[in-house]
Structure 1
């Protein structure tokens, strides 16, 4: 039976959800059973998932509240399984040009849990985005789509390889 992986995410306008879905698609190609869910909708991790990936959008230097709450609420369950984190947010090409250190919320989760890895991907803010600040950013001409799905897929394949490498010889 393939390993069961949860890809949970916190998003406001759907950009991070799209990244989470791309991660899940790659993990499925690796032969893993994957469920992609909004972080706030996950009731339990224990007994359901062998590994977890959590993603959150970045807003004003903070990880999305649903991602923060998910990690805090399920800390005990997450401590016993492989865990990867990602962020999405810079509204420029910086995430494709260099490694961006985790924001304080993510670093705190990394310090408390045995997180295998964290990566930051570019964000996306387009017309129709919700929120006053989002509308202000768009009006100033600083929106756009800076997600690099090749980078997302490369990272997800790396995660999939690590999960598959952690399987016992019996496959489970």
Structure 2
């Protein structure tokens, strides 16, 4: 592997960005060169050996930038290792059980032969953008439900797969 790993993300309030940054940090610590980038800023994925793509969940849909990323790069993504993640549940459920991908992400997984999808808890705190987000926080339903131990473990599994492919 020579081109490294792109960890792209679609986020509104930064929670998914922090997850992507953590994944990239762990990959780098494990000897895999990785960069976290906003999905909307990525012009080409052909220079990367693998891609991890994450999107925040909003009303049962992946973040718009993550959906557009998949459409824009679908041909090039089909030819390289791809992992997907979602962030969103505003409760501890994602840390305790596997939450399947939303239908649009499930279709993309099948179409692009993604290696894996995982859902992480979300984070919605004071100062969130959007009327609905502010109402959720105001009604006491917000909070930070990301489990960074779970995120780091997942990133290590990705690194192990990539190292095994490199050596194998």
Kept in 2, the 8 Å contact 1:10–1:55? The answer is: yes
Deviation at 1:3, TM superposition (A): 5.0
Correspondence for 1:165: 164
Deviation at 1:111, TM superposition (A): 1.7
Q: Which TM-score applies when normalising by structure 2?
A: 0.97
Kept in 1, the 8 Å contact 2:2–2:49? The answer is: no
Deviation at 1:168, TM superposition (A): 4.7
Correspondence for 1:43: 43
Deviation at 1:33, TM superposition (A): 1.2
Correspondence for 1:34: 34
> Which consecutive unaligned segments of at least 5 residues does structure 1 have?
none
Distance in 1 (alpha carbons) for counterparts of 2:70 and 2:167? 27
Matched, 1:22 2:37: no
Distance in 1 (alpha carbons) for counterparts of 2:104 and 2:140? 28
Correspondence for 2:78: 79
Secondary structure of 2:34's match? Answer: strand
Give a deviation string over 1:127-152, Cα, whole Å, max 9, x none.
00000110111111100000000000
> Which consecutive unaligned segments of at least 5 residues does structure 2 have?
none
Give a deviation string over 1:65-117, Cα, whole Å, max 9, x none.
10011011100000000000000000000001100010012111112111000
Deviation at 1:2, TM superposition (A): 5.0
Matched, 1:127 2:131: no
Which segments of structure 1 move beyond 6 Å, counting only runs of 4 or more? none
Kept in 2, the 8 Å contact 1:2–1:32? The answer is: no
